[in-house]
Structures are given as C-alpha cells and as structure tokens.
Amino acid sequence: AQSVTQPDIHITVSEGASLELRCNYSYGATPYLFWYVQSPGQGLQLLLKYFSGDTLVQGIKGFEAEFKRSQSSFNLRKPSVHWSDAAEYFCAVGLFSGGYNKLIFGAGTRLAVHP
Amino acid sequence: DSGVTQTPKHLITATGQRVTLRCSPRSGDLSVYWYQQSLDQGLQFLIHYYNGEERAKGNILERFSAQQFPDLHSELNLSSLELGDSALYFCASSVQPNQPQHFGDGTRLSIL
C-alpha cells in the first residue's frame, strides 16, 4: 500500500540555520510528490512539487527538495531559516489513476524556530 | 490566498445533528477534493469530484456524503454526528485531476 513517512515529529532550529525535513514514501510506480506547509489556523499551501525530470526542484519561499529514487526519499531543504518558517510541513504522494487523484499525506513535521 | 473558499470557518454542534460544509473552488478548477484532518488520523482523503461526477472515494464514512453542483461548488454533508467527527475539514481544487491541489483554509467542526 502507498504510504508516506515523516520520521521527525518536531524539529527546532535557530534562525539563520539550515534546515532539512525528511520524507520517505512507499509507492510502486514513479510518484508525484509534494510538500505543503500549514501555518496555525491556515490551510495547506503548496511549497513545491515533483512530477518528473530534474530531481532537484525549487519551490516558493526559498525551499527546495530532492527526489532520490534509490532511497525513496523527497527531503525538503532550506539554506537559511526565517522565524516566519515556523509551521507544520507535510509531505504527500499523489495517486493519479483512472482519472482520479488523491493525496496520501505523511503525519507532518512541526518546525519551531528559535531567534 | 489560494482562491478556494470554505464556509463556515467554524461550526459547533451536538451529537446526532447534521451539518453541511461548503466549498467554492478556484476559478476554472473542475476538480474538488475533501480531506479530514484530525489529531489521531492526520490528513485523510475523503472524496474527489470532477465536473460534477464522483471520481474516487477514500476513508469516507457512510454517514458522510458530498456532491458537486453545476456551478462547480461542492458540499460535504455530515449526519448523525459523533464526538469523533470533530476535526478540520479541508476542501481543495485543481484544474484537472493530474494537477496540484490547492487548499482552502478549512472548516473546524466541533461536536459537543
């Protein structure tokens, strides 16, 4: 069965430090992969997506992610974290089949940023 | 602002009641999706509609139903509510099923 694992429930970093959030997926075919961010009281905002092609994808707010098929991973990175990046981050795999589409989400990683 | 509008933002009701959550997709989007976010289950896919037609069902209870209207807005109906139905319900939309989904801000449902 398809699944997404985010091993880190909580991560705390200092402002200005680099960030890497881990995501591993289980899916038989080539996956469509996404990272979303959810700020308190807000909906989910799409940070970036991977469908095919270049395995390093750039997103909004200075985020990037790298697809590694051999490791079944799609880790999210940012070179320098800002206090406004404190939020919950969700990795998801998209299942497109027969004209339908659904996202399978990981449990999320809550990011805290220290000044 | 994703362009997806959900109403109401908050809903408080009692067990056994019925509620309707409404979603207006982004302009031009034909697909609408519903998700439930709870502390114990996380984000769970409920149902997908495309241009008025149901395309896929996920972990949606029989007490729950949805539809997409000709103007493309969608409603999620929850009946015989139980305490465990308390959650944040998200609607998302996309232009086509194989395109990224954009989420609304959700409706927080509290069952007392």
Q: Assign A97 a pLDDT band (cuts: 50, 70, 90).
A: confident
| Mutation site, A30, A42, A44, interface B, largest B CB count within 10 A | A44
Question: B81 CA to chain A: closest CA distance, Å?
Answer: 23
pLDDT value for A30 = 75
Inter-residue contact B109 to B86 (CB < 8 Å):
yes
| pLDDT tens digits for range B72-103 | 999 999 999 999 999 999 999 999 888 899 99
Indicate whether A100 pLDDT > 70: no
Residue of chain B whose alpha carbon sits nearest to that of A35 = B100
Task: Give the Cα separation of A23 and A74 in Å (integer).
Answer: 5
Task: Give the Cα separation of A12 and A94 in Å (integer).
Answer: 28
Q: Assign A99 a pLDDT band (cuts: 50, 70, 90).
A: low
Residue of chain A whose alpha carbon sits nearest to that of B46 = A102
Residue of chain B whose alpha carbon sits nearest to that of A107 = B42
Determine whether the interchain pair B58/A102 forms a contact, defined as Cβ–Cβ distance below 8 Å. yes
Residue of chain A whose alpha carbon sits nearest to that of B55 = A100
Inter-residue contact B106 to B88 (CB < 8 Å):
yes
Number of neighbouring beta carbons within 10 Å of residue A95? 18
| pLDDT tens digits for range A28-78 | 777 899 999 999 888 899 999 998 888 999 999 999 999 999 999 999 999
Q: What mean pLDDT, rounded, does chain A reach?
A: 93
Sort out which chain B residues have CB atoms less than 8 A from A100's CB and list them. Answer: 48, 50, 55-56, 97
The number of residues making up chain B comes to 112
Amino acid in position A23: C
Q: Locate tokens 């896929």: which residue? A: B56
Reading the block at residue B42, the tokens are 């996380």
Determine whether the interchain pair B56/A100 forms a contact, defined as Cβ–Cβ distance below 8 Å. yes
| Of residues A93, A89, A110, A112, the one with CA closest to residue A102 | A93
Sort out which chain B residues have CB atoms less than 8 A from A99's CB and list them. Answer: 50, 55, 97
Burial class (CB in 10 A: 0-12, 13-18, 19+), A56: exposed
| pLDDT tens digits for range B16-49 | 999 999 999 999 999 999 999 998 899 999 999 9
What's the half-sphere exposure (Cβ side, CA atoms, 13 Å) at B94?
19
Task: Give the Cα separation of B72 and B26 in Å (integer).
Answer: 10
